[in-house]
Amino acid sequence: MEIITKILSIDDLRQIANAMFGNLVKAVVDIDKELIAIDAELHSDLEALLIKEGSSHKNLWGINLYPEIEGDDFIEFDSMINIRPSQGNIIRGVSDEAICQKIVKIVYKWVRE
């Protein structure tokens, strides 16, 4: 489990995926601080790590990264931590398109070919 502090390549993500789930890397994105925590069995563990480091729960969104897939399906917006009726998000995905766009921007800030 770690908070990304340097740019990761797709090959880096492949190695992380192979060590845990085989085809995916769980991640939690802080849309305010533009941070990503990766490499845990549960999104909630990554969420706890970011909160411990000063992130606010309302800014944290769970995603999955698929290093073998290119395009829109590289990022999957699916996590139990995303269910937040108090913020108007009642699904495991992310219903606010502006938040989705922020997440995508942050992911590509830290993950590159």
Query: How many independent structural domains does the chain possess?
Result: 1
The whole-number pLDDT of residue 113 equals: 80
Full-prediction pTM beyond 0.85? yes
User: Which structure tokens are listed for 106?
Assistant: 């942050």
Pairing of strands 2-3, 25-30: unpaired
Phi, psi at 94, each rounded to 5°: -125, 110
CA distance from start to end of the chain: 22
Q: How far apart are CA 38 and CA 2, in angstroms?
A: 6
Residues 6+ apart with CB under 8 A from 103: 29, 31, 61, 63, 75, 77, 94
Domain span holding position 14: 2-112
Average pLDDT across the chain, whole number: 96
Phi, psi at 61, each rounded to 5°: -135, 135
- Continuous segment of H or E residues that includes residue 51: helix 43-52
Instruction: Indicate the pLDDT class of residue 48, thresholds 50, 70 and 90.
Output: very high
- 74-89 per-position pLDDT tens digit: 999 999 999 999 999 9
Share of the chain above pLDDT 70, in %: 100
User: Which structure tokens are listed for 103?
Assistant: 């997440």
Q: Is the pLDDT of residue 50 over 90?
A: yes
Instruction: Indicate the pLDDT class of residue 101, thresholds 50, 70 and 90.
Output: very high
The whole-number pLDDT of residue 27 equals: 98
